[in-house]
Structure 1
Amino acid sequence: MYTSSYHVPISSLIARPLLTCTPDTSVREAVRRLLAEGCSSIVVMEGASAVGIWTEQDALSAGEDANTPDLPIGAVMSAPLLTLDADTPLGEAAVRFKQSGIRHFGVVKDGACIGVITQTDVIVNQGAEFFLRLKSLESIQLRAPVVVPEQYPLHDAIATMRRNKLDAVVVAYADGEHGILTERDVVRLIANETLAGVVSDHASRPLRALAATQSLYAAQRFMLQQHIRHLGVRDPKGRLTAVLSFADIMQNIEEEYLSELQSALVERDEALERARFSLRMADLVFDSALEGIMVTDRHGKIERVNQAFTRLTGYSDEEVFGRSPSLLNSGHQDASFYKNMWHSLVTNGHWQGEIWNRRKSGELYLEYLTITSIHDTEGNISHYAGIFSDITQRRQNEERLRYLATHDVLTGLPNRALFEERLERAIIHASHSKRQVAVMYLDLDRFKLVNDTLGHHAGDEVLKTVASRLAAGVRDSDTVARLGGDEFAFVLEEFNDVRDVGRIAKSLLNSVGQAIDLNGHDIFTTPSIGISIYPDDGTEAEQLMMLADQAMYGAKNQGCNAFQFFESKMTSSAIAQLDMVGELHRALEQNEYCLFYQPQYDLSSGRVVGVEALLRWRHPHRGLLLPDKFISIVEQSALIVPLGRWVLQEACRQARNWLDAGLEFGRIAVNLSARQCHTDSFLTDLTRILSETALPPERLQLELLESTTMNTREEIGVLLRELETRNVSIAIDDFGTGYSSLAYLKDLPVDTLKIDRSFLSGCDAHSADRAIIRAIVAMGRALDLDVVMEGVETPEQLAFLQDAGCHQGQGFLLARPAPAERVNELLSWQRNAFPMPPGQHHASKTALAGM
C-alpha cells in the first residue's frame, strides 16, 4: 500500500466509454443497454449536456410499477447529475462519496462529461488495506439483512427494496440456504420483461458468505475475486447476521484516515518519498488511537508502539524497541496459554481475549487484546499488530456487581444465596473426605426492641457490629452469612469433634453478648443458636438448615442466650415434617394443588364485592387438606415462592374467566407471604402474570399479614408503593393481632383492613373485643379504608357488624369456600336476581355452605 494512490486523478480510473441516452429513450431500452454493457448507470444527454443519470437503484421503481418501463427516461431520471472534475484526487473523491451518500458521480473535463466514477472504483483503488486488515467484520456496524421467504412475490420484494432504500434483499429457502436479489438482478428482469413470479425464481443462489471474524480486507478481496458486490456475514454459530456491500466498506474507511492521509502525502513529498505508505499509516493510526498499539516483526520483536501504549504500560518506545512483548508478562498465564495464542495466530491469522499484564511500575492490569497477523505481497506473515485497552475498571465494576448479588449490603457478609451454595459445596466435600459439617442458625433475642425504641438506623449499627464479631469468631475456612433481618447462619468445616462446634457456639454467645456502644449508650443483645450436624442429622442442605432452625427455637425456649444441638426427640413431628417437604414439592409437580374461593359481601347491599382465593391440597391418600395442615411447612421452605407464584397465576386466570363470562366479582384477593415479597423476581412475575392472563391490575388485591408489614416496614413500603403505581390493591390481613401502634397505616399505601376473626368468635355483645371491632371500623372510615370482618358465622354477628357500620363481611354464614364452578353459580344468580333481599343471605347460600 503506497501513498501515491491518494493523488491519482479520478479520470485515470475511467475504464469504459460513457454510456448515454437521450431524455426520450424509454426506460425499457435504457435497461437493456445497461445490461448489455454491464454498467450500473446511464447518463442522460440533451445535446452535449449531461442533464441527469439513471442507475440500478432507480430500476427498483421501474420493477415495482409496470408502467414505468414504457416511460421516457427523462421523466424518472435523477437530476441534476452530480459531478467531479477529472483532476480530482482519488482521496478527495472518497471523501465526497462518503459525505454525499450517493454511489455515482459524473466525471467532467473542460465542461464535458467524459465518464462515471462509482463507489466500487474508489474501494478498489483507495489503498486502505492496512486499515481494512485491522478491522474484522464483527467490529463494524452493519444493518441486519432484510430477509424474505422464497415464495415471496417478486413485485413485493422490489417494493420492499425501494421503500427501504436497499440495494439487495436476502431470500430464505426452505432447506435453510440463502440467496440474494440485487438491483442488478432487477435491471436484468426489466430487460427480459420477466417481472412476474416469486422471488426465488430470480435470486442468485447461494449467497456467498464469510465468518464475522474475518477482516474487512479479506471481505473486499473475496468480493473482487468472485465478481460480486454483496457478501453475507455469519456469526460463530453459522447464522446469517448481515450483508456487506461496497457501500459498507466505504462507510468504514475512517474519515480521519482520509484527511490525515493527505497530510502524510505532503510530509512524504517533503521527505523525498523516503518513507513507505504503510509506515505513515501506522504513524497516523498510532497518533489517533486511544487503544494501545504494538507492532512486532514476524519473530515477535517489538518494532513500534504508540503513545497510548506508553500511557497504559509506562514503557516508552525506546525501552521496548527490539524486545519481546513478554516484558509485560504478569505471570498469571502459563505456557500453555501463550502456546494456544500463537497457534491461533498462525492458523487463524488473529487472536482475541483477556490477558493480565504488568505495567513498568509493577502494577497488574487486565487488558482486552486483539492480535492480527499481517501478510506481505507474497502471502507470508511479515508482522503482527496488537491493539489493546485497559479493562481493569470494567472488570472491577463487574466483580462489584457480582459481589452485591451474593453479599448482604449492610454487613458485607454472604447472603442466603451464597450461604446455600457454600453449604452444598461443603456437603459434597465432606461426603468425599468422610468428615462432618456443622450448620448453625443464630437469631438475636428481642432485637425488635432496638428498632422500636431507638429506630432502624440504630438497629442497622447493632447488626453491623454483631456481624463483625461473628466474622471474627470463626475461622477463615468457615462461612458466616446474614439471611435477613437479625438472622445469621454458619457453615463450619474441618473440625475433629462436635465439642469443638459447641466451644465455637459458646464463644459466639460471649462475643455477641458484650455491650455495644451506640452514641454513648450501652446496648446489649443476646443470641440464640441452633446447630445441626452432617451427616448425623441429615444429608441435604435444606434439611440441615431446617433442623438448625428448629434447634435455634429450642434454644430460645430455654430462655435465650443459649445454644442447642438438634436432637431427634426435640419435636415428635420433625421427621414427619421433613417427609412432608418432599411430598409438598411433588404435589406442585403433580398438579395436586387447587384453589377454593370465598366471596366477600357488602353488608349494606348484600352484593359480592370481592372473592378471596384459598389454597387447598388434593392429597392422593388423605383427601382434601386445608392450609393449616401444611402451609407452615411450606413457608419454612423454598417452596413458598414457586407455590405462591402458582396461586397468583391460577387466581388471576380464574378472575379473567369470570370477567369474560360477564360475571361481576369485584376484586380477586390473593394472600402474599413475606418471603415472596422479598424475592427479586416478584414484580417481574406479577407483571408477567397480569400480562398473560390479561387481568386488569385494579381487579387484583394482595393480602399481607400485619406482622409482615410491621417487621419489614421500610423494605415492604418500597414494594407497596410500587404496587400502588400499578393500580394493585393492598389489604392488611389479620389486622389488630399483637400491635398497638397504628401509625404505619398513614405511611403505607393500604386500602383495606381485614379484622382477624378472633375478635368476633366466641364473644358476647358486651365484650371488649366488640369495642375493638367498633374502634377499627371507625378508624377505617376516618382513614377512608375499607374494613372487612372475617369469620362471620351467626346472624347475631352479622347484625352486630351492620349496626357497627362495618363495610364488608366474609364467613361461613354468608358463603363457605368453594370451587370455581360453584362460585360461578352464585355470581350468575347475583347477575340475574340482584339485589338480594336482606333477609335471604343465609338461606340462599345453603348449597355453598355445604362445601
Structure 2
Amino acid sequence: MHHHTLDVEIGRLISGPLLDCPPSTPIRDAARRMAERRCSAIVVTDGGRPVGIWTEHDALAVDDDQAASHRPIETVMSRPVRTLPASTRLGDAAVHFRSERVRHCLVVDDEGKSLGILTQTDLVMSQGPEFFLRMKRIESATLSIPSVIDAALPTADALRLMREQQMSAIVVAYGPGEYGILTERDVIRLVAAGQLHGPVGEHASRPLRALPRQQSLYAARQYLLENRLRHVGVHDEDGRLVGLLDLSGILSNIEYEYVRELQTALRERDEALVQSRANLRLADRVLESTHDAVMITDLEGGILRVNPAFTRLTGYAAEEAVGANARLLSSGRQSATFYRDMWHELREKGHWKGEIWNRRKDGALYLEYLSISTIRDPDGNCTHYAAIFTDITQRRQAEERLAWLATHDALTGLPNRTLFTERLDQSIARARRSGKRVAVMFVDLDRFKLINDTMGHSVGDEALAVIASRLKHAVRETDTVARLGGDEFTLLIEDIDDIRHVGQIAQSLMEQVGAAIHRGEHLLFVTPSIGISMYPDDALDGRRLLMQADHAMYEAKDAGKNSFRFFTAPMTSSAMERIRLESELHNALLSNELVLYYQPEFDVKTGEIVGVEALVRWQHPQRGLVAPDQFIPIAEESALIVPIGAWVLREACRQARAWLDEGFDFGRMSVNLSGRQCRHDGFLLELSNILSETGLPASRLQFELVESMAMMTGGGGIETLLHELAARGISLAIDDFGTGYSSFTYLQALPVDTLKVDRSFVAGIGSDDGNGSSGGTIVRAIVAMAKSLGLAVVAEGVETEQQMRFLAATGCDRAQGFLLARPMPAREMRRAAWRLAA
C-alpha cells in the first residue's frame, strides 16, 4: 500500500492555469493578481518562456514607499526558475523540495512547455501522504517555536524580522492569551493595497486558530484545507501556545516516511536481484549440462548464445556460432514453403515443433527434432527465440529398419509374404483397369533340405541369397520377387499380353536358378519346381491365385521336379477340393469350428481307464463332422497344423484340468504331435505357457508321435526335443508302431515309454486259436520286444471280444477301440466311465 501512495505523478496534482506576467509588470500589479487568485507565486515569462518567479516570501523585501511598489517585477524576481517534469513521482518531488529548500516549482511537459506551478501546499494536500498522516500526531511534526511580537510594532519592522529569521508567519500578541498572525499571504495583500505602514496589529489576522498537539497530522491537514489556512497554532493540554504548525512541518514528515519507504523498496529490489542471480546461475547450469542442444537467437536469427551440447551436435564452437546467423546450419533439404509455414506458425502460436534436416560443420547431414519457442518481455513483445534440438538420425534409421523388416526378408532383402500380398492386390486392381494379365509364380527348391542337413545352415543361407539374386535379375524391375520363408519364393509378373511369354520366363528361371553355385571347392546344384497361375484366367483374387500357383508347383514336383506347370482346370476335381478345404480350414480356426473328442484307453487286466486320447474333429457348418484323415494332411502341407496343434493342446490340457478338479481320474491325457509342430521354433515356449495357464501337471500329459517322425535321423533336432520333453516329466508314445522303419536299436536311444500297436495288426488277429494269424504273430513280437525294453504297449482298434482275449493272453498292457469305447465329446466322457467301470 505504501509504495502506491507516493507513486502519483505530479502532473496530476496541478490545479488551475499558470499565473504569469511579463518582466515589466509593476510589483504592486503582480501582488494584486496573486491576491485575487490566492496564488503564492507568479511566473515571469518573456515570449512565453519562463525567466523568473516572484513568491509571497519575496514580498517580504518590499519597502513601504510608493516608488518601490511600482518598480518592474524583473528587478525583484528570483531566477532561474526551478522545473520538474510532469512525470516526477510525488515522493521524489517532496525530497526535491526539501533538499533544494524551495516551496514552489514549475512543472513542465516532455517538450519543456510550462504546465503550472507545484507548491508545498499541493504536496501536503494531495491524497498520497494520507496513510502516513493518519499514523502521526501533531506533536511528532517539526513545530516552529513561535516568534511573538507586540501588536504595536510597526509593520515594516515586523516584515524585516520575518525576512531576517526566514519566517513564513509571525505571531502577534494583543493581550494575555490573545494572539493574531501575520503571514506572507497577508503581506501580498498589503503590497497590492499599498498599506505597508502602521502598527502590525492592524494588519494581522485574529484570533490565531489553534489545535491540541495530540491530534493527528491528518486532522491538522484537513483543518488547514477546510479553513484555507497554511498555519495553525498548537496548544498543550493547558491551552498554552507551544508551537506553530505550517505546511513545511507536515511535509518534512512525509519526506522522512518517503525516504524510509524508498530504503525498503531498495532492500526488496536488492533481495530480488540476489534471487534473480541465483535463478540465472541455476538456469546456466541446466543449460550447460542438458544433452539437448540449445540456441538462443534475436528476431532476425542472429545467434546470441549456445550450450556445449550444441557444439557436440553441430561441430561449431560457441565463438564460431555466436554472432553468426542460424542459417549456418541449413542443409538445403527443406523447401522455401517449409520455412514459410514454420515462421507463420511461430508468429501465430508462439512455438513450433517438428523434424528438420540440418548440416554439421563437417558437412554431414543429420535429422533433428526441433522445438522453437518465442521469448517475450513483460509487456508481451517478442524479443528472442529459443531453439532446443536433438539428433534423431539413428532413431529414424532404426525405425526405418524396423519398418523395412516388417515387409522384407532379412536374409535375402526380398519382399516378404506381407508385402508380396499387398503388391499382388495392387497389380490385380491395375490389371482390372488395363485389361492385361498378371502371372503368379510359386518357386520351391528341390531337395534343398539335403544341403542344410549335409552342409549346415550357413551354406544353405548363402545358397538362398545367391538364388534370390538370380531370381531378381531374371525379371524386370517392375516385377516383384518375394521370399515366403524357407526355400519358397514367389514372383509377380505384370502387364502380360501373351501367356507364352510367361512360359519363356519360367524356362529362363529354371536355367538361371539351376546353374551351379560355387562355394569354395564345392559345386552346389539346386533346381526349382515352378507352379504358375494367371489372372483373370484362373482366379480373380490374390489369395486364390497364390494357392493355385502353390498346387501347380506340387504338380511340377510330382512330374519329376526341375520343371514348371501352369494351373489347369482338370486339377479342379481333386486339387480344387483340397484348395477349398484348405481355405475353409483357415476359417475353421477363426470361427471356433474345431472340437475335441476323447477316446479312453483301458488296462487290459483290470478294465480301468488309464488314459484318454484327444482327437480333433471339424464341426463344418455345411459338411457336418469332418474326420481328421480328411483335413489333417491338408493342415500338415499348408503349415496350418502349427496353430491347429496349439489349439488342440491348449483345449486338451484345459479339459484334463477340469476333470481333475471334478475328481475324475482319467490317467494321462494323450495328444498327437506332428513333425511341423516339433520343428516350429516357438513350440517349447508355447507348451510351457499352456501348462502354466491351464495348471495341468506335466506328468498328466502324453505326446504321441508317428513312428517315421520319431525315427528321423540327422540334425538331432527331434531327438533333442524328445529328451527335453521327457526331462519335464511328459510321457512319450510311438503311434502306429510297426508300419514304418522300426529300428529297435534307435528306439532304445529315445526317451519313449509307450508303444501303440497299429490297428492293422490288431485287425489281423485270426479267428482260430490266436496263434496262426500273421497279425497275432506281429503283435506277440512287438509286446515281447517292448517288455524287454521296459515299454508299455497299447493295442489300437480293438473291435472284438476275441481280440481282447488274445491281447490279455499275450500280456498287452492297454487297449483302445470301438469294442471298449468310441471317441466322444467331453460331456459324455464321465457317464461312459461310470458305465464301463460298472
Gaps of 5+ in 1: 1-268, 834-851
| C-alpha separation in 2, matches of 1:301 and 1:737 | 88
Residue in 1 that maps onto 2:827: 821
Secondary structure in 2 matching 1:569: helix
Q: How far apart are residue 276 of structure 1 and its match?
A: 7.8
Paired residues for 1:601-616 under 5 Å: 601-603=602-604, 605-616=606-617
1:96-122 deviation line (CA, Å, top 9, x unaligned): xxxxxxxxxxxxxxxxxxxxxxxxxxx
| Partner in structure 2 of residue 811 of structure 1 | 817
Counterpart of 2:513 in structure 1: which amino acid?
V
Q: Is the 8 A contact 1:444 1:527 kept in 2?
A: yes
CA drift at 1:650: 3.3
- Conserved? CA contact 2:439–2:502, under 8 Å: yes
Tell me if structure 2 keeps the 8 A contact 1:663–1:827. Answer: no
1:155-196 deviations in Å (ceiling 9; x for gaps): xxxxxxxxxxxxxxxxxxxxxxxxxxxxxxxxxxxxxxxxxx
Residue 588 (structure 1) shift: 5.2
C-alpha change, 1:525 and 1:318, in structure 2 (3 Å) is: same
Change over 3 Å in CA distance of 1:602–1:675 after alignment to 2: same
The reply to whether residue 303 of structure 1 matches residue 309 of structure 2 is: no
* AA in 1 matched with 2:821: A
Aligned residue type for 1:497 = D
**Match of 1:438?**
439
Q: Does 1:569 align with 2:566?
A: no
SS of structure 2 residue aligned to 1:570: helix
Q: Which residue of 2 aligns with 1:314?
A: 315
Post-superposition Cα deviations, 1:488-541, rounded to whole Å, max 9, x if no partner, equal 222233444333322222122112222233452333232211111222211223
Structure 1 residues 412-449: Cα deviation after superposition (integer angstroms, max 9, x where no partner) = 44444444344344434444544433221222223344
In structure 2, the partner of 1:671 is: 672
Q: How does 1:193-272 map to 2 (within 5 A)?
A: none
CA contact 1:672–1:703 (8 Å) conserved in 2: yes
Offset, 1:675: 5.7
Counterpart residue identity of residue 481, structure 1: A
Give SS of 2:537's match.
coil
Deviation at 1:781, TM superposition (A): 6.8
- Paired residue for 1:655? 656
Amino acid aligned to 1:823 = M
Say if 1:746 and 1:520 are closer, same or farther in 2 by CA, change over 3 A. farther
- Cα shift at 1:659: 1.4
Secondary structure of 2:560's aligned partner: coil
Looking at structure 2, the residues matched to 679 and 452 of structure 1 have their Cα atoms a distance apart, in angstroms, of 17
Displacement, 1:544?
1.4
Q: How far is 1:470 from its partner?
A: 2.7
Length-normalised TM-score, structure 1:
0.56
One-letter amino acid of the structure 2 residue matched with residue 511 of structure 1? Q
Q: Which moved more, 1:622-631 or 1:565-574?
A: 622-631
Matched-pair contact (CA < 8 Å) for 1:664–1:827: no
What are the Cα deviations for residues 544-586 of structure 1, in whole angstroms up to 9, with x where unaligned? 1211111111112222111011011134134434444454455
SS for the counterpart of 2:569 is coil
Offset at 1:664?
A: 0.9
Equivalent residue for 1:467?
Answer: 468
2:502 matches 1:501: yes
Aligned positions of 1:349-368 closer than 5 A: 349-368=350-369
Residue 571 of structure 2 aligns to a residue in which SS? coil
Deviation track 1:438-490 (CA, whole Å, cap 9, x = no partner) reads 22122222334444544555544444443343333333433333333333222
Tell me the equivalent position of 1:373: 374
Q: One-letter code of the match for 2:534?
A: I
User: Which string of whole-angstrom CA distances, capped at 9 and with x for unpartnered residues, describes residues 592-626 of structure 1?
Assistant: 44321111334565433322222223344544321
TM-score calculated relative to the size of structure 2: 0.57
Query: In the aligned structure 2, how far is the partner of 1:284 from the partner of 1:755?
Result: 82
Provide the rounded CA distance (Å) in 2 between the counterparts of 1:718 and 1:397: 36
Q: 1:315 to 1:694 in 2, by over 3 A?
A: same
State the shift of 1:706 in Å: 5.9
Structure 1 counterpart of 2:525: 524
Does the aligned pair in 1 maintain the 2:604–2:814 contact within 8 Å? yes
* 1:91 counterpart residue number: none
SS across alignment from 1:472? helix
User: Against the structure 1 CA distance between its residues 807 and 448, is the aligned structure 2 distance closer, same or farther, given a 3 Å change threshold?
Assistant: farther
Q: Whole-Å Cα distance in 2 between the matches of residues 357 and 313 of structure 1? A: 9
Which residue is 1:389 aligned to? 390
Pairing of 1:176-195 with structure 2 (within 5 A): none
Displacement of 1:792 in angstroms is 4.0
The answer to whether structure 1 residue 513 and structure 2 residue 514 are counterparts is: yes
Residues 731, 497 of structure 1: alpha-carbon distance in 2 compared, 3 angstrom cutoff:
farther
SS in 2 for 1:616: strand
Q: Does 2:559 align with 1:558?
A: yes
Match of 1:627 in 2: 628
- Count of residues in correspondence between the two structures: 561
Assess if the C-alpha contact under 8 Å between 2:453 and 2:715 holds in 1.
no
Q: Any conservation in 2 of the 1:292–1:312 contact (CA below 8 Å)?
A: yes
Quick one: distance in 1 between partners of 2:629 and 2:652? Answer: 20
Q: Which residue of 2 aligns with 1:233?
A: none
**In structure 2, what is the equivalent of residue 538 of structure 1?**
539
Change (3 A) 1:370 1:466: same
- In structure 1, what is the Cα distance between the partners aligned to 2:377 and 2:530? 74
Matches of 2:292 and 2:718, distance apart in 1: 47
Report the Cα distance in structure 1 between the residues aligned to 2:343 and 2:746, rounded to whole angstroms.
Answer: 67
Q: 1:800 to 1:419 in 2, by over 3 A?
A: farther
State the 1:689 CA deviation.
5.1
CA contact (8 A) 2:610 2:666 kept: yes
Asked whether the equivalents of residues 441 and 487 of structure 1 are also in contact (C-alpha less than 8 Å), the reply is yes
Displacement after TM superposition at 1:668 (Å): 2.3
Report sequence identity in percent. Answer: 58
Partner deviation per Cα, 1:742-771 (whole Å, 9 max, x = no partner): 898799876655555456554877899888
Aligned to 2:207: none
SS across alignment from 2:823: coil
Say whether the 8 Å CA contact 2:368–2:390 is kept in structure 1.
yes
Amino acid at match of 1:525: V
- For 2:570, what is the secondary structure of its paired residue? coil
Distance 1:741 1:621 in 2: 44
User: Secondary structure of the equivalent of 1:548?
Assistant: helix
1:740 deviates by 7.0
Q: Which has the larger radius of gyration?
A: 2
